[in-house]
A and B are shown apart, each in its own frame.
Chain A
Amino acid sequence: MIANDWIQILVSLGLIVLIAPLVGRYLAWIYQSSHLGVERKLYRLLGLDADREMGWKEYATTLVVSNGFFFVAGYLVLWAQGSLPLNPRHLPSLSPEVAFNTAASFVTNTNWQAYAGEAQLSNLSQMLAITFLMFVGANTGLASLVAIIRGFIREGTQTIGNFWADFFRFFIRAFLPLCFVMALVHAEQGTPQTLKTTVTARTLEGAQQTLVVGPVASLESLKNLGTNGGGFYNANGAHPYETPTPLTNTLEFLEMGVFTFSLPFFFGRMIGRPRQGQVFFVVIFALYLAGLGVIEYSEKMPNPLLAAAAVNQQTSPLLDGGNMEGKETRFGITQTSLFSNTTIAATTGAVDGAMDSMNPLAVLVYLVHMFLNEEPGGKGVGFAGLLKEAILAIFLAGLMVGRTPEFLGKKIESREIKLAALSLLVTPLLVLWLTGLSLVLPAGKSSIDNPGPHGFMEVLYAFASGNANNGSAMAGLNVSTPYYAIVIGLEMLLGRFLPLLPLLALAGSLARKKTHPENAGTFRTDTPLFVILLLGFMVLFAALTFFPPLILGPILEHLSLIHGIAF
């Protein structure tokens, strides 16, 4: 690494550490203040009784039903694309299974893409289906976290808030305005924003070149701020129109991090214990940093298999060396590492380089991030997942010392543990079973692109990504087949709602409980000891559950790569 690599990393991470607490404070204001005038008018216009407190069942029902409507609306647009306006290229409608996959993908904040944006979607679909679903998917995630947090704040009540108020407050006071401002910044840097579709250029050598343009900038800021990740173009953030400059790459890194890394601080403010929020931030940031270190090391490593071809892979002032397959020159290794670690950790799923061409150790990090899925995780649901792990870690600690586990003054009892464990089990069940199934079925195997452990990783990665609602892909795997479109479509819906509903139930259960004052026997959860306990629990859980596939995939591939074995 050269000095510039260090400076880029330190400046980027420094900005996140600086901004996150401030944004956390702002988010807490959003949810602790009363309705704004414009919000009241909106609730009246839409007939939403935003002051009515909901129990967890009503909250969950409203969340699921509204998401059902969002899903159907998005599906209809994609399914009818061929007969809708603003389609001068006469692109046909998506096939029913790919339209299903796409609507499921975007409503669950996954943004898995079984289609190629510039080749298959009209500008109308990009706006009316994709941009719309990106907004509502991300917003739903954040609203659910607010409801779950209320479980810890309230006592002796059946209610955990109002879904509509939680939904629209973030949308109006933070999400939409920031997306608008950042979209203009992206446009200034070179991201197109027009209603035109294609430009045909006559190149200097006289060849014809098709340039696809469209409303890209408005999608680009949203893609990252909402930790959505679905690109306008097939190459996603690697496309020079999506991420034209190193500055936009850094801004996108910040956009992905700004809300997600602020959530621990938001939590701390909401429960009136800022120190608890800082502790959670330390846990998240430690895992994030560890991942970044491994990726940067992995991608800077010269590929021993290319030595015979006499390729210069050493970094110098004239060349950014390392694994440049699938990476863009303007970013180089370090910007790509920063981006890819963040996009996976924050469950965005946007990429600015080809995940399928990354070295195995980097893929190992991506997989572990997606298995844990909460450091910091996607909009809201990621942090909710961390709270669930905290409850389980405290339960384990309680077992070890023989105390009734307590978290933030709430007694953790059988019902809470069952709900948390239920939520935790979804990931291994979906990822491991579906990966296994696809490796047996011909329909699963025929889509694999690369040979050896790399091909196995493509399948494992796809299901890890679908379940984590991440959306990035090792894109060699052909996922537009009916088998993958339907199975991953279902997996994304299950991966979103199956873990979330038990957590809402958990919040309902906690809200009913008395909050006990701390005493000398209370196990403190805002100490370094708790940081170690929680980290230990997360690593142990991931290791015990996912070690076999990690050995068969990235670890095997890394060992063969350093011994010069090609597949």
Chain B
Amino acid sequence: MPTVTAPPTSPYQSAYDSLASQSAQQPAWLRDLRRNAMQRFAHLGFPTARRGNEPWKYTSVAPIAQAALAHDAAAGAATLAHLKRLAPWRDAWPRLVFVDGRYNARLSSCDSLPRGVRLHTLAHALATDPAALEPHLGHIASWTDDAFVALNTAFLADGAVLIIPPGAVLEEPVHILHVVTDGAGAIAAHPRTLVLAGDRSRAAIIETFVSASGAAYFTNAVTEIVAAPSAQIAHAKLMLEGAASYHVGGTCVRQAQDSAFTSASISSGAALARNNLAILLASPGASCNLSGLSLTAGSQHLDNTLSVDHAAPHTTSRQIYKGILDGQSRAVFVGRVLVRQGATKADAVQRSKNLLLSRGAEIDAKPSLEILTDDVRCSHGATAGELDQSALFYLMSRGLPRDAARSLLVQAFASEIIQSLAIAPLRTWLDRRLALPLAASHAEVPA
């Protein structure tokens, strides 16, 4: 007799059932949304890396599907000192802190926000002003065709909500910080962020996922951003999860006329991670500038999948993603640009550059353009290579030891992304944070 395995969704179903019974106070529309999303997840199941399943062709999430994860664990203890050691920090930054998936009021601070700007937990916003969320929550990130978004939506309970009124300008970036404590074990968290940026508003948002835990925990995050006309939003995602963890994160952005969205996605953590970034340039004049840097080593697997939908004329997109791969790690870059019919004068550039520091590392880079209209300017390209040997010799010929020369060249490769970060304080922090793993991994490379 063949072995019969339980459907992989069943642990999630029981976790959902127990959560559903506790959330009777949620508005009816949300309970409906969550129930539908759970049904959808049960139907879709976890995606499989097989031919014909294009979005998941290069990434197997079997380890996540098979993981035994706790949905009801209590949060561990974290201190400000702990956070400052792990994450970029300015006391002036308004922040919401989530520890082991739970909101921590003591570590959070929303003091320095301009008048009218609302930064709350999702639970608070749902309890006090659900009508403000209803048109947007679950509508930007599609849960009907993505199992992870469906799962996150099914477990919608808490997260961050940032509502910026028209014309408001935030001088300091808002930091949404997710930290998993060392003792948390194999937990699952499904945090949700919703950003509603009003007309002509300006703001920067940092989402940090960080941990020093060695546990195989799972973060399944979804961020929805709505940029109203002429809004200027800078978003940075720092994915610095624990070494044995799994991270799937979807960031979905809808941009109105003349809005500008800047994204920087920096990834160096997790054993298995997938960053989805989906931009809808819905109206004329909308533009986005998407940059990414990933550092992988050991047996890490990191997948950056981007899609930019030029749905209106005079829309602009820029993508520059860089990967630095060491050890036996594997990275994936899939960038899809769609220029719809009628989206004339669309202007799209896609670039993927990858540096392979070891023979065992592997990159799948697949930029793609789908152009359904004439009169557009689009280009794409992908490169992968080793360190420039002539540059290495040049630096060594001036007395720099091999490891120092390598480290300098790797940092130089990364600097194009780091130095272009819209949020300036992140530059120095990342320079220092990323230099450490680089120096450590080079020491292991034989001359």
Asked if A pairs with B, the answer is no
